[in-house]
Structure 1
Amino acid sequence: MKRALILCLSLQSLSLLPAVGAAQAQTVVDGSDKNASPFVKSTLHMLSKRFAEDQPKFRKISTHTSGDKQIVCGEISLHGSKVPEAENFLPFGATQGEENPLVFEAHTIPAALDFREVNTWINHGADLEDLEEMGCVPEGSYRQYSDRLNAVLQHRKTN
């Protein structure tokens, strides 16, 4: 009995069996998911599950390859409206064979940071750096973020 249960769970994790109660619709507001590959569909499904309570909306979905791996990029909105405004969309990306898609949740860097929060802000920027390396955000995006963060940290040192 245990072996059968383990086999079912293993097959489900490989997406060979349908998941019970896992029907999660992906709303793509601009139709950019036309002719989406199974990898793209899987990525959108994972993000929809991860942010299920926010009923995410997607747009600007595109794919490209890096070596022998497919990369999907796009934008996700966690805003509750049917068609969110442009400023409500966050960049996301996923590399085929990687565990989880990355979403850069943009937060305005405050004018001053508590020393205990510095690592959190640095780690937060790592997602943006990874998205830049994947080709999902414009080159220099991480540098701009890093420069703003460093300016706040320098200001702290002078006070």
Structure 2
Amino acid sequence: MMSKASDFAYVIARILAVGLFFTSGLEKVFQYSQNVSEMAQNGVPSFFLPLVILLEVGGSIAIAFGFLTRFTSVFMAAFSIIAGFLFYQGFTMPHLIVWLKNASCAAGFILLVLNGPGRWSLDHLISLKFGNKKTGGAQRSAA
């Protein structure tokens, strides 16, 4: 059985995992035309920007609250890797560091896919409400 400390740690981990994406998504809203230009410079069509904003802001909120966590985390992991390849090309140390940051974010999202959001999440409450006794989080021991 998970302890309250573990339950709380899942909440903190979810929030920390998405903080960068949430703030980046808000920046894209307020600096929309600048982001369209940057996308164009990297060969990315501008029609993707609203989808990126939706994923970064909406996906961050969903994961922070533990809602559709596994589903959203798949997209966040893929986005992290794809964005790394599209925007951080080159063989400079700053590009490498940012690319590795994106890879590290993807790893965290993959862990959320595998382990779920934990018991203090909307996913867990929904699974209880609809009769699915799985926690959506770390596996409980049979003891």
TM-score strictly above 0.5: no
- Greater RCO structure (CA 8 Å; 6+ sep): 2
Which structure features the higher share of strand residues?
1
TM-score by length of 1: 0.30
Which protein is richer in helix relative to its size? Answer: 2
Please report the TM-score for the alignment, with normalisation by the length of structure 2: 0.33
